[in-house]
């Protein structure tokens, strides 16, 4: 594949093509996330093309099993921390970003950052990355399974930082209550978003 790909609309199309052979259930989720991200982009006057591209590529490796995620991450030289080795599912974001950069020639840092950290979030997320992060978490199917997410969805229309902090608070509290380890980036992101919330 020759030439770097930096146009968000073209990147979105490339991701959509790559997703076409993924499991149907995953494809439907990604399309719902893209619609949700575009809606939040309209509400908050964000770059629609960046939101659509990041949403289209965020789950390229979500269907992989733990061992495959670890093997592919090593192949693409994705750093693996102890936290990620204990919960390899977190690697599907960084792996997708590394794969997009190396194999698909995607050259757009904001889109790649959004994809890489869409599971944990990142304290330095752009608003576009935040919109994709939230759209993934408030996929209508997820809200059906966990009605408590409706409050996050409602907050997202007014303040993306507040909505993201609310979601992370719920997740981190649940993990604490069940004795799970907390990912440092999720904790740092929750604190950063809480400070920026209006």
Chain segment 127-153, per-residue pLDDT in tens = 999 999 999 999 999 999 999 999 999
Q: Is the pLDDT of residue 193 over 60?
A: yes
- Using alpha carbons, list the distances in angstroms from residue 106 to 3, 10, 49, 57, 75: 9, 10, 14, 11, 18
CA–CA distances in Å: residue 182 to residues 80, 133, 154, 161: 15, 18, 26, 20
Q: Which pLDDT belongs to residue 24?
A: 98
Structural domains of the chain, ranges and CATH numbers in brackets:
8-157 (1.10.3210.10)
How distant is the alpha carbon of residue 15 from its chain centre?
14
Distance from C-alpha of 169 to C-alpha of 167, rounded to nearest angstrom: 5
CB distance 94 to 116 below 8 Å: yes
State the pLDDT at residue 26. 98
Residue 7 has pLDDT above 70, yes or no: yes
pLDDT tens, residue by residue, 56-84: 999 999 999 999 999 999 999 999 999 89
What would the two tokens of residue 8 be? Answer: 């968000």
Nearest CA to 100 out of 183, 162, 17, 33 is that of 17
Examine the pLDDT at 2 and tell me if it is beyond 90: no
> Which residues, other chains included, contact 157 with Cβ-Cβ below 8 Å and sequence gap of 6+?
40, 43
Residue 198, pLDDT score: 83
| pTM to 2 decimal places | 0.96
């Amino acid at each position: 594949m020759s030439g770097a790909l930096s146009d968000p609309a073209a990147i979105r199309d490339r991701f959509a093509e790559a997703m076409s052979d993924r499991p149907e259930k995953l494809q439907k989720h990604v399309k719902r996330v893209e619609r949700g991200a575009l809606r939040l982009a309209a509400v908050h006057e964000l770059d629609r093309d960046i939101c659509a591209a990041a949403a289209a590529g965020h789950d390229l490796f979500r269907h992989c099993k733990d061992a495959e995620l670890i093997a592919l991450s090593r192949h693409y030289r994705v750093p693996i921390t102890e936290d990620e080795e204990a919960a390899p599912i977190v690697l599907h974001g960084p792996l997708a970003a590394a794969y997009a950069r190396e194999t698909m020639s995607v050259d757009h840092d904001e889109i790649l950052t959004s994809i890489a950290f869409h599971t944990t979030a990142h304290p330095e997320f752009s608003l576009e990355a935040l919109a994709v992060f939230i759209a993934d978490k408030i996929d209508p199917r997820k809200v059906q399974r966990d009605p408590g997410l409706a409050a996050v969805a409602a907050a997202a229309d007014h303040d993306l930082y507040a909505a993201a902090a609310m979601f992370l608070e719920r997740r981190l509290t649940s993990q604490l209550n069940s004795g799970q380890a907390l990912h440092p980036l999720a904790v740092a992101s929750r604190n950063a978003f809480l400070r920026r919330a209006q």
